[in-house]
């Protein structure tokens, strides 16, 4: 049934209908509760489906043909569980549910007529429950042939297995992050080295260097070689790749070719 203003009726009307239905349910020795009520989950859709599946009896008011109510009725019928359908006198019953005996109550909720409705509803609930206990209850779907309903299944995972799986996931995530950090550091270092090499090359005056070498003594040349070797020692182990980037020299078995710097 609607829980707020719906159709031509305000919320107060539906609260009065709810009270009438609840008293009828109590008359059959059942404890009434709205289908959306449950202390086990905070997700309202989960509560609704769980209650539709697990409750021993469901009373469904399809007055004004609220879409949510019709959907919930369809689920209950699919679960092959007992359900009592009620509606007010002004509701035009859908063709699909017309074959199910529906209890009608007066739209104006007139006292004498409501008393008869409450008596009939209590009796219908009691009768359906007796059929279930005697295994003579025939679900709505069974009138159309044989159908199998698959019960919701739950899987138990041991605590140790769950914790181990979570730790493995964390380890994999950390490994991936470490790889990305190292890769970024390598790329950043390569960029700095490449910039230094480019700067060094740009600062060399080839003509002056050749002139100096022609006039230098063997001792000067040896000293110059030592200074050059000292200046570039930090570049040992680095190479300029074919794509122009600079990075650690790869082994002969590595990917791609390298050129000594």
Statement to judge: residues 180 and 126 lie in one domain: no
Provide the β-strand partners of residue 102: 85
Parent domain of 251:
161-260
How would residue 120 be classed by pLDDT, with cut points 50, 70 and 90? very high
Look at 194 and 119; give whichever has higher pLDDT. 119
Provide, rounded to the nearest whole percent, the portion of the chain with pLDDT above 90.
31
- pLDDT score at 20: 94
- pLDDT score at 27: 95
Among 144, 179, 206, residue at a domain's last position = 144
Say if residue 231's pLDDT is above 60.
no
DSSP symbol at 256: S
- pLDDT score at 253: 46
CA distance 68 to 6: 12
Statement to judge: residues 107 and 167 lie in one domain: no
Distance of CA 178 to the CA centre of its chain: 28
State how many domains the chain has. 2
Statement to judge: residues 168 and 244 lie in one domain: yes
Per-residue pLDDT of 166-190, as tens digits, reads 677 777 777 777 777 676 666 666 6
By three-state DSSP, how is residue 3 classified? coil
Among 90, 113, 144, residue at a domain's last position = 144
Mean pLDDT throughout 201-226?
61
- Model pTM score: 0.54
């Amino acid at each position: 049934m609607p829980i707020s203003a719906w159709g031509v009726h305000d919320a107060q009307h539906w609260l009065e209908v709810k009270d009438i239905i609840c008293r009828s349910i109590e008359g059959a020795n059942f404890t009434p509760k709205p289908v959306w009520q449950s202390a086990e989950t905070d997700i309202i859709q989960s509560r609704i489906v769980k209650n539709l599946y697990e409750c021993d009896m469901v009373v469904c008011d399809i007055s004004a043909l609220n879409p949510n109510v019709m959907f919930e009725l369809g689920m209950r019928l699919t679960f092959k569980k007992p359900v009592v359908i009620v509606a007010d006198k002004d509701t035009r019953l859908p063709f699909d549910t017309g074959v199910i005996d529906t209890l009608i109550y007066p739209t104006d909720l007139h006292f004498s007529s409501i008393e008869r409705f409450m008596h009939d509803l209590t009796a219908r609930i009691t009768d359906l429950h007796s059929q279930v206990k005697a295994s003579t209850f025939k679900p709505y779907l069974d009138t159309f042939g044989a159908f199998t309903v698959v019960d919701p299944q739950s899987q138990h995972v041991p605590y140790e297995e769950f914790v181990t799986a979570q730790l493995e996931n964390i380890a994999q995530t950390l490994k991936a992050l470490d790889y990305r950090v190292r890769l970024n550091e390598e790329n950043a270092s390569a960029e700095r080295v490449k910039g230094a090499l480019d700067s060094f090359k740009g600062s060399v005056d080839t003509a002056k260097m050749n002139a100096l070498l022609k006039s230098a003594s063997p001792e000067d040349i040896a000293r110059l070689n030592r200074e050059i070797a000292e200046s570039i020692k930090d570049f040992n182990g680095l190479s300029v790749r074919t794509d122009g980037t600079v990075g650690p020299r790869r082994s002969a078995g590595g990917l791609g070719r390298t050129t000594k710097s």
